[in-house]
Chains A and B, each alone.
Chain A
Amino acid sequence: MFRSTSLRLAALYTFGFAFAVVVLGVIILLITRAAMAEQFDARIQVEAGALTEEFRSEGLQGVVQAVRDRDNMVGALDYGLVAPGGAPLAGALATARVELGWSTIEIAEHEEVEGRPEHLRILSTSLPGGYRLLVGDDAERVEAVDGAVLRAFGWALLGVLILGAAGGYGLSRDIQRRLSAISGTAEAIIDGDLARRVPVRGSDDDLDRLAATFNRMLDRIAALMDSLRQISNDVAHDLRTPLTRLRQRLEGSLVESSDAARTQATEKALVDLDAILETFAALLRIAQIEGGARRAGFRTIDLTEIARTVVEAFAPSAEETGHRLKMSSEAPVLIDGDPELLVQMLVNLVENGLRHTPPGSTILVSADRQENRLAVLTVADNGPGVPALERPKLLDRFYRLESSRTTAGSGLGLSLIAAVAKLHEATLTLSDANPGLKVDVVFRPSTTA
Chain B
Amino acid sequence: MKLLIVEDDKDGAAYVVKALEEAGHTVDHAATGRDGLLLAAGEPYDVIVLDRMLPGIDGLGILRTIRASGVQTPVLLLTALGGIDDRVEGLEAGGDDYLIKPFAMAELLARITALGRRPPPQEIITTLQVSDLSMDLLKRSVTRGGTRVELQPREFRLLEYLMRHAGRVVTRTMLLENVWDFHFDPKTNIVETHVSRLRSKIGNRDAELIHTVRGSGYCLREPD
Contact = CB atoms under 8 A, between A and B. Distances in A.
Interface stretch (A122-130, A140-148, A340-348): A340-348
A277 B100 CA distance: 11
Contact of A313 (B83, B102, B154, B185): B154
B190 A316 contact: yes
A278 B189 CA distance: 15
B183 interface: yes
Interface string A164-196: 000000000000000000000000000000000
Interface stretch (A29-37, A232-240, A281-289): A281-289
Contact of B84 (A278, A288, A347, A351): A288
Contacts of B185: 278
Contacts of B183: 340
A285 B180 contact: no
B102 A277 contact: yes
Nearest to A288: B83
A125 to B, nearest CB: 98
A341 B197 CA distance: 28
A409 B188 contact: no
Q: Which of A281, A316, A347 has the most CB of B within 10 A?
A: A316
A435 to B, nearest CB: 24
B103 to A, nearest CB: 10
Contact of A316 (B84, B85, B102, B193): B193
Given A277-B102, A288-B84, A317-B193, A312 B154 contact: yes
Contacts of B182: 313, 343-344, 347
B94 to A, nearest CB: 20
B201 to A, nearest CB: 12
Given A277-B102, A285-B84, A340-B84, A313 B184 contact: no
B136 to A, nearest CB: 23
A347 B85 CA distance: 20
A277 B181 CA distance: 21
Interface string B97-108: 000101000000
B190 A314 contact: yes
A281 B190 contact: no
Given A347-B186, A351-B188, A316 B197 contact: yes
Contacts of B118: none
Given A351-B186, A351-B188, A313 B84 contact: no
A235 B188 CA distance: 23
Contacts of B84: 285, 288, 294, 340-341
Size class of the B contact interface (CB-based, 8 Å): 20 to 34
A354 B102 contact: no
A341 B181 CA distance: 12
B187 to A, nearest CB: 5
A313 B183 CA distance: 14
B148 interface: no
Nearest to B153: A312
Nearest to B83: A288
A373 B183 CA distance: 31
A85 interface: no
B184 A293 contact: no
Q: Which of A293, A294, A347, A351 has the most CB of B within 10 A?
A: A347
A317 B82 contact: no
Nearest to B194: A316
A133 to B, nearest CB: 102
A317 B83 contact: no
A115 interface: no
Contacts of A313: 154, 180, 182, 190, 194
A284 B82 CA distance: 9
A340 B87 CA distance: 12
Interface string B34-59: 00000000000000000000000000
Contacts of B83: 288
B100 to A, nearest CB: 8
A241 interface: no
A65 interface: no
Nearest to A339: B181
A278 to B, nearest CB: 6
Contact of B184 (A297, A317, A344): A344
A106 interface: no
16 contacts: A278-B185, A281-B82, A285-B82, A294-B85, A313-B190, A313-B194, A314-B188, A314-B190, A316-B193, A317-B188, A320-B193, A341-B84, A344-B182, A351-B186, A351-B188, A354-B188
Those 10 A-B pairs whose CB atoms lie nearest each other, nearest first: A316-B193, A317-B193, A317-B188, A317-B190, A313-B190, A344-B184, A347-B186, A409-B187, A351-B187, A313-B180
Given A313-B190, A320-B193, A340-B183, 16 more contacts: A277-B102, A281-B82, A285-B184, A288-B83, A288-B84, A294-B84, A309-B181, A313-B182, A314-B190, A317-B193, A340-B84, A341-B84, A343-B181, A347-B182, A351-B186, A351-B188
